[in-house]
Amino acid sequence: MTTMTLAKALNAGLRRAMEDDPKVLVMGEDVGKLGGVFRITDGLQKDFGEERVIDSPLAESGIVGTAVGLAMRGYRPVVEIQFDGFVYPAYDQIVSQVAKLHFRSGGKIPMPMVIRIPFGGGIGAVEHHSESPEAQFAHTPGLKVVACSNPVDGYWMIQQAVASDDPVVFLEPKRQYHADKAEVDEDAVPDPLHVSRVVRAGEHATLLAYGPTVKVCYAAATAAAEEGKELEVIDLRTLSPLDMAPVYDSVSRTGRAVVVHEAHVNLGLGAELAARVTERCFYSLQAPVLRVGGFDTPYPPARVEEEWLPDLDRVLDAVDRTLAY
């Protein structure tokens, strides 16, 4: 057992993936000598050399386009997008090339690539540094999209994503990088990459979360328990494909569901989750599926971001509303 932060766990996972396969390369802005803005790639260039840990120009489209060529030649590039809001210059490459080449080639050209994106707010950053673009990628066929929420998942999921023959958009909650520590057993048998997990059992309502809001929902469930409300918390982990079996099982028992994410509520992942739960669990539902998320505005200045982000009080308010039906 090794006690790690999420940042250290991701670093250790990348290191192990690079040790296991010499075709794994890391690319991005400042990932080499600096070790990345959040130090996720710290020490990798020193140990694996500049040919495998590549400091790129400030050109996201060029980074991803180069990675496409490398993947076509049998390499497994791991691309770092420095901040979530910087991914849009590469959006065309991701949705037009990365997502479609395998299908376009009739299965002849696999695209084993990981696109790492620190996402979400809560760190007091400036504009374009706190966004949640996951729904745009989950909406694109051909891309797998996952979101880790804790050091154990960070360590294993990054290795599983690198080993995948499909392109994976790998979302990392930046405010969790250095927030908490957990014991990571590097010899354990991990859960598969594309499965959801119940992280707290309950009977009165189900909270669905991923990435940074898992911690928020767990805290809300802990607070609600003091008032006799037992909330079940599910960490979705995988956003495309969605693993709905644990969700259906939970909602069928609790009869109520609240989806929590930092992204805008309008057309966010919560809308898809609400639709699927309603279609499958209609006769078990005792209340409409509710959504808690960011407001339908651009991400605000850092001084007021806590008013914008879903927090414990907003989650508990939704719980009270769903229990009132």
Catalytic residue positions, numbered: 129
Helix (H, G, I), strand (E, B) or coil at 35: coil
E strand or H helix at 168, and its extent? Answer: strand 168-173
- In the block, tokens 């669990």 appear at 281
- The DSSP code for 139 is T
β-strands 144-147, 168-173 pairing: parallel
Nearest to 287 by CA among 314, 325, 313: 325
Nearest to 248 by CA among 284, 216, 214, 213: 284
- The DSSP code for 100 is T
Helix (H, G, I), strand (E, B) or coil at 146: strand
